[in-house]
Amino acid sequence: MARLMLAVERDTFVSDPYYGCRMCALLCHGLIQTGVAFRSFRFLSRKDKQNYFSDRGTISRAFVAENAFFVIVSIYASVQNTPCLAEWTKGTAVELAFVFFPYHAIRPFFPKTSFVQKRSSDQEIRNDTTMEKNARLMQTSAYVTKVAYILGKHMLGYFVNYVAFVRGLTSWHRWLSYAVMLGGGYNLTIGVFIHTLKFKKIISPLVAILLYIPPFVIWAVPGTLLVSELAVENRVLFTLSVIGMLANVRMSSGHQAVFQFAMLAVCRAIQTASDRH
């Protein structure tokens, strides 16, 4: 059923080489929006915690700046997903940076915030800007978002990028990726606006969460289809991506970089083997 629904616009997507440019334009708008928010909202907290999942107080400037990184990564994904744009980056340092080293070459230029606040004893604590009655809702929402980001980083990010780097994506897989970016683009471009409405008490914390969380579930459908189909065709890359995701928590930044260099070597080897056949 999901595949049938997604196929409704597929013919248009396949026949129009510039169709994906719409997503790129949307995300570029989101980047501009993030920049405006960072420069204009002087009242935002300057602490290093994101404070998004709270019902009192504002998000931090660090969180807004951090959002720009994810928008930039998504812009590259939309470029890669559009053949007429992907030609510009194919075989360049830009491609290598975004496919293998986005969290080493680009991420250090942006602040890093945490969804879950912890004490030195490593026990999770309730954010001091969250009322007791909403604490569980906010904490659950933070966990859902954290899981979505982890899966997005390693499966829809690294793994899909590896496959696109080695073999390229079929029109169907590019359409699934486009559908994923519709949901992800929503979260990245409207997240700050939703929090502003909540902060000004135009909407309640519950409504804000209901506006922010569902897209994660929506893009999970095409995302699952995309990853599962690519996994069948690219078992080695999928297995290594899963290993990278599981080991990511305990690996230092240096070890993660070494792992990505190893993945680059594996991808090159697969490319060479494919060319010989």
Annotate 109-124 with DSSP letters as a single string: GS----SS-B-TT--B
Average of per-residue pLDDT across 24-45: 80
Residue percentage of the chain with pLDDT more than 70:
79
- Residue whose entry in the numeric block shows the structure tokens 């002087």: 42
Q: What is the pLDDT of residues 237-273, one digit of tens each?
A: 999 999 999 988 788 888 899 999 999 999 999 988 8
Token pair, residue 72, equals: 């930039």
Q: Is the pLDDT of residue 33 over 70?
A: yes
Higher pLDDT, 1 or 77: 77
Q: What is the pLDDT of residues 106-126, one digit of tens each?
A: 999 998 887 655 544 433 444
Q: What's the confidence (pLDDT) of residue 57?
A: 64
Q: What's the confidence (pLDDT) of residue 217?
A: 74
Q: What's the confidence (pLDDT) of residue 204?
A: 79
Q: What's the confidence (pLDDT) of residue 274?
A: 77
Q: Is the pLDDT of residue 157 over 50?
A: yes
Q: Is the pLDDT of residue 45 over 70?
A: no
Q: What's the confidence (pLDDT) of residue 238?
A: 96
Lowest mean pLDDT: which of 74-78, 142-146, 167-171, 270-274? 142-146
Rounded (5°) CA angle 113-256-27 = 50
71 near 34, Cβ under 8 Å? yes
Rounded-to-integer distance, Cα 266 and Cα 247, Å: 18
Rounded-to-integer distance, Cα 116 and Cα 125, Å: 8
Please report the sign of the dihedral spanned by the C-alpha atoms of residue 209, residue 242, residue 274, residue 226.
Answer: negative
Q: Is the pLDDT of residue 130 over 70?
A: no
Closest among 251, 246, 237 to 103, alpha carbons compared: 251
Q: Is the pLDDT of residue 184 over 60?
A: yes
